Amino acid sequence: MLEFQQGSREAFAELFARYRQPIYGFFRRRLNHAARAEELAQETFMAVLRATARYEPRALFRTYLYGVALNLLAAERRKSGREVSDAEEVARAADPAGGNDPDAALWVRHAIDQLDAEQREILLLREYEQLSYEEIAAVLQIPVNSVRSRLFRARMALKGFLVPQKGMPQPSQS
Amino acid sequence: MNRSTHLVEQEEVMAYLDGELDPQRAAAVAAHIDACPSCRALAAELRGISQQMVAWQVEPTPARLSEHVNAAIEEPTGKEKKPARQQTPAVSRWHRWLMSRWVWGLASASVALLIIAKMTAPALFVVHKMQAPSAEVSHGTVDINNPILKGGGGGGGGDRKELTAGPMIARTASLTIVAKDFEVARAAVERIVRQHKGYVADLATNAPKDAARTLTATLRIPAPQLEAAIADLKALGRVEKETQSGEDVTKQYADLVARLNNSRAAEKRLVDILQQRTGKVSEVLEVEQEIARVREEIEQMEAERKNTEKRVEFASVQLKLSEEYKARLEMTPPSTGTRLRNAVVSGYQRVSESIFETTLFVLDYGPSFLFWALVLYWPGRFAWRRWRAARATGLGSSVGAP
């Protein structure tokens, strides 16, 4: 990022190549529409581009990038003003076309959907965005210890939701 | 797991698996996991959860994203191409929408609906007339120039839009009128609104003591009656300002109705699919989610449609009515009781003021008076005694003189 700030376009191209898929995945798992996820991913990189001159290396670039993405996501949710809750939104979110087992993917999505919003966000940031506890704490502006305890609770809750209920169809075993 | 006898917290097992412990602590926890069956089981569970979560993958990034961002990188910093950001999503959204598997079913349902609508056109038209009484009552007959009737408005279903064609205009007007008699003009406003089958959306009057009274109101008048209503309102007094404007919402309304029809057809088809077919749980859930999404869209569009129809059906008139101000001369003298009371109050105020003024004077000059009294006391006393002694001596000598 510092190299790009000094005029190296290749540096930003490399950053973009590295984070393109993770940022798209970030929005895709949290929003209902693929096209909107694409727009917001693009908007995230554009925002970083626009703010290049003001960028200060106070934290990891990754933390900064996900911070921008989370802000845009929050703005999108406010703007859309939809009546659906976050949980419903995740439930209807990404089409698991990229996975090998769509049933299993759907099962996971529904299990995640049942978590409360805070736990879900921490879990998604850890499992899919692969952020460290410290990075999650920085992005969500909460203490590291809270991240650890909430993540543990989220995983324990998810374990319960992932267990097939009696009478419910089970996901195919991959 | 008994926590009191455990040296490792459950969260530490998780942190160890996440690589969040320092090397020393990680080694201790690893050794503990090897030795403790319950912690080993927990570690296995946590690994299992992460492995299961891997199943939810998203599709690769669309190529367009790379193209636009790379193009922006090539631009000088701060001059990114905004149009790309605005155009692509719309194209992309439509492209994806068109490719959706539901759209084909939806399209065929729309065609069927259109045919049914054509066949039942006369019946619908009759229903429509009944739902727009205000337009009919005022003219006695159906006004074919009425944009509401032409546009399919009036609170009915949107599927009638295809039957007629013509402009739908949302009209607005504003009038500023100065009337000689405010009360008469105000009553006349209400009468005019009633006469033209309209209603008062909001009204506020302002009657300050030393200024002209004003009335501001938003009147909703049936569009065909607007001209007549404005003419009646203008007769109330001198017109200071008048504006009229109209917004053509035909295209907006037609688009809305078409989208609404499509969504309704899609909803019906989805419900049919849900009722008639059996499949995997994933498919059932997907259909349910799609139905919920389509219903939400329908509700939003329905509200928008009604709002547009209302705007077309009833023109909005912003009226500001004020009276010609006449200053009033007050000649009535106050009563004897009031005058006596005023005199008592005035007397009391004067007494208290004089006490206050005296206190102020004493406080103001008292200290300096006291000071000079102390300074001049002894010289004065001395001089006084001298004068008295001299006087006594003088008297004595004069008495003792021959």
* Residues A66-105: tens digit of each pLDDT: 999 999 998 888 877 654 445 445 545 445 444 567 788 8
Q: Tell me whether strands B214-222 and B314-323 are parallel, antiparallel or unpaired.
A: antiparallel
Are A4 and A58 members of one domain? yes
Least confident residue range of A62-66, B55-59, B207-211, B237-241 = B207-211
> B213-227 pLDDT, tens per residue?
888 999 999 988 888
CA–CA distance, A111 with A123 (Å, rounded to integer): 12
| pLDDT at residue A138 greater than cutoff 60 | yes
Mean pLDDT, rounded, for A8-17: 78
Give the A:B interface size as CB pairs under 8 Å: 151
DSSP B240: E
Nearest C-alpha neighbor of A109 from the set A127, A93, A128, A125:
A93
Mean pLDDT rounded to a whole number for chain B: 76
> Residue B9: pLDDT band by 50, 70, 90 thresholds?
confident
What's the order of all strands across the beta sheet hosting B199-206?
B199-206, B214-222, B314-323, B169-179, B238-248
Largest Cα span, chain B: 161
Question: Do A73 and A112 belong together in one domain?
Answer: no
In SS3 terms, B346-394 reads as HHHHHHHHHHHHHHHHHHHHHHHHHHHHHHHHHHHHHHHHHHHHHHHHH
Contacts of B58 in chain A (CB under 8 A): 24-25, 28-29, 94, 96, 98
Domain containing A58 — which CATH number?
1.10.1740.10
Residue B234 has pLDDT above 50, yes or no: yes
- State the Cα–Cα distance between residues B235 and A55, nearest whole angstrom: 66
Domain span at residue A68 reads: 1-82
Domain-ending residue, one of B323, B351, B375: B323
pLDDT at residue number A102 = 76
Give the residue from A34, A56, A82 where a domain finishes.
A82
Q: Which of A36, A63, A82 is the last residue of a domain?
A: A82
Q: Count Cβ neighbours within 10 Å for each residue of B305-314 and write b for 16 or more, e otherwise.
A: beebbbbbbb
Q: Say what the pLDDT of residue A87 is.
A: 46
CA separation for the pair B260, B265 (Å, rounded):
9
In a domain, A111, yes or no: yes
CB pair distance less than 8 Å for A148 and B15: yes
Residue B23 maps to a domain: yes
In a domain, A174, yes or no: no
Cα(B178)–Cα(B189) distance, rounded to whole angstroms? 13
Q: Mutating which of A4, A85, A106 best tests the B interface, going by the most B Cβ atoms within 10 A?
A: A106
Q: Which helix (H) or strand (E) holds A93?
A: none
Measured CA to CA, the distance from residue B35 to residue A45 in angstroms comes to: 48
- Whether residue B158 is predicted with pLDDT greater than 50 in this model: the reply is no
Residue B273 lies in a domain: yes
Average pLDDT (A125-134) is 92
Chain B residues inside the 8 Å CB shell of A33: 93
Bridge partners of B205, per DSSP, are B215
Helix (H, G, I), strand (E, B) or coil at B188: helix
Q: How confident is the model at residue B130 (pLDDT cuts 50, 70, 90)?
A: very low
pLDDT tens sequence across B249-264: 888 888 888 888 888 8
Nearest CA in chain B to A97: B59
Domain containing residue B244: 119-323
Assess if residue B279 is contained within a domain: yes
Is the complex ipTM higher than 0.85?
no
Express each pLDDT in B276-308 by its tens digit.
766 677 777 888 888 888 888 898 888 888 888
Number of independent structural domains in chain A: 2
Distance between CA A136 and CA B355 in Å, rounded?
A: 76
pTM for the whole thing?
0.42
B23, amino acid identity: P
Where helices occur in B75-100 by DSSP H, the ranges are 82-99
Say yes or no: A95 contacts chain B, CB-CB below 8 A.
yes
B169-179 and B238-248 beta bridge pairing: antiparallel
State the Cα–Cα distance between residues A134 and A139, nearest whole angstrom.
9
Give CA–CA dist B109/B114, Å, rounded. Answer: 9
Interchain contact, A98 vs B292, CB within 8 Å? no
pLDDT digits (tens, 9 = 90+) for B171-214: 889 999 988 888 888 888 888 998 888 888 888 888 877 778 88
Judged on CB neighbours under 10 Å (0-12, 13-18, 19+), B331 is: exposed
- What's the structural domain count of chain B? 2
Give pLDDT, residue A23.
93
User: Residue A94 belongs to a domain with what CATH number?
Assistant: 1.10.10.10
B125 and B225 in a common domain: yes
Asked if A79 is an interface residue toward chain B (Cβ–Cβ < 8 A), one would say: no
pLDDT above 70 for A168: no
Same domain, A102 and A150: yes
Flag whether residue A153 sits within 8 Å of chain B, measured between CB atoms: no
Q: Which of B30, B56, B62 is nearest to B43 (CA)?
A: B30
Nearest to A42 among B58, B65, B93 (CB): B65
Lowest mean pLDDT, pick from A55-64, B121-130, B325-334? B121-130
B135 lies in the same domain as B16: no
Cα(B274)–Cα(B262) distance, integer angstroms:
18
**Residue A170 pairs with which residues in a beta bridge?**
none
At A151 the pLDDT is 95
A66 lies in the same domain as A102 = no
Region B55-84: mean pLDDT is 69
Distance of CA A35 to the CA centre of its chain: 16
> Does B77 have pLDDT greater than 60?
no
Quick check: A49 and B52 CB within 8 A?
A: no
Q: How confident is the model at residue A171 (pLDDT cuts 50, 70, 90)?
A: low
Name the domain boundary from A82, A105, A131: A82
pLDDT band at A5 (very low <50, low <70, confident <90, very high): low
Residue B197 backbone zone (phi > 0: left; psi -120 to 50: alpha; other: beta): left
Residue B162 lies in a domain: yes
More confident of the two residues B397 and B7: B7
A114 inside domain: yes
**Cα–Cα distance, A4 to A59 (Å, whole number):** 16
Do the domain assignments include residue B348? no
- Residue B177 is classified by DSSP as E
The neighbour count for residue A161, using CB atoms within 10 Å, is 15
pLDDT of residue B97: 55
**B260 in the same domain as B169:** yes
Residue from B344, B312, B352, B284 nearest B224 by CA: B312
Please give the residue that has the higher pLDDT: either B203 or B80: B203
Report d(CA B344, CA B340) in Å as an integer: 6
Whether residue A92 is contained in a domain is answered as yes
| Cα A67 from Cα A125, distance rounded (Å) | 11
CB A105 within 8 A of CB B57: yes
- Residue A131: what pLDDT? 92
**Type of residue found at A139:** V
* Distance from C-alpha of B18 to C-alpha of B37, rounded to nearest angstrom: 20
In this prediction, residue A122 carries a pLDDT of 94
